Amino acid sequence: MSERPLSEDKDSRELATEIAGVLVEGKAKDVTVLDVKGITLISDYFVIASGRSSTQVKALARRVLENIDTSRKVHVEGEDLGVWVLLDYGDVIVHVFRDTERAFYGLERLWGDAEKIEVRQPETN
């Protein structure tokens, strides 16, 4: 995927998978997309990823903001501390955690009934 803003006329699933791709390219760990439609009214998809440090968490969130072109206003929470940054695109909510916070809050466990959407992870040697 190139370093270009992505089209703003995406459906929510397409937006979630493109955000996941941007995070994978940014070296995020364990990128997961959960389909939470029908489980909650707050969003259609959660994109969850981890960074190794607060600096990486902030950089990953900035990378998403810079590479996803959407006409929607994005609400950002937690960018100052960089332990859990939330990007709210309305129908897609992005959670970028440090490893410790991700394990503590356990969103994948909390939303365990959600369908997991396959995300291409980089090959490890």
* Percent of the chain predicted with pLDDT > 70: 89
CB atoms within 10 A of CB 17: 18
The pLDDT > 90 percentage for the chain reads: 74
Q: Which amino acid is residue 47, in one-letter code?
A: V
Q: What is the pLDDT of residue 120?
A: 79
Q: pLDDT per residue over 2-28, tens digit each? A: 343 444 446 999 999 999 999 999 999
Query: What's the CATH fold of domain 12-117?
Result: Beta Polymerase; domain 2 (3.30.460)
Q: What is the mean pLDDT of the chain?
A: 88
89, 44 Cβ separation under 8 angstroms: no
Q: How many CB atoms lie within 10 A of CB 96?
A: 32
What is residue 124's predicted lDDT score, i.e. its pLDDT?
A: 58
User: Minimal CA–CA distance to 68: which of 90, 41, 42?
Assistant: 90
d(Cα 13, Cα 17) in Å, to the nearest integer?
A: 6
The residues spanned by each domain of the chain are 12-117
